[in-house]
Structure 1
Amino acid sequence: MRNKIAQIIVLSLPLVTVVTAQPQPPDFPGAPGQAPIGGLGLLAATGGAIALKKLYDKHKK
């Protein structure tokens, strides 16, 4: 009987260790990096504003 209890303890100890040693879930991802507006974007925005002004002035006449 004592031998059977010893076998159960020896076999169940690795199982208990594996269950309790599970890794933590991964953390949430961080915020994405913000990209600066480059010179090409500013140039395109300025060109669009000038085009809209010209269309507005042409339509106004």
Structure 2
Amino acid sequence: MKKFCINILPVMLVLFLLSCPSLVFAQPGFGDDVDDVPIDGGLSLLVAAGVGYGAKKLRKRKLVI
């Protein structure tokens, strides 16, 4: 039974991933009177924080850049 579950899991995963695009539908856009706001505001800060955190972890493991 365990071997059957291990063999069937990848097949089920592939079938699920192939069916996902048919389940996802785009949402309608906003009206013309709404001001669109870009998402970039905090994204650059998150990237900088991630780079800093990664550098800190590398230094801690003594793999200095």
Q: Which bin holds the TM-score, normalised by the shorter protein?
A: 0.3 to 0.5
TM-score, normalised to structure 1, is: 0.38
- The structure showing larger relative contact order (alpha-carbon pairs under 8 Å, at least 6 residues apart) is 2
TM-score, normalised to structure 2, is: 0.36
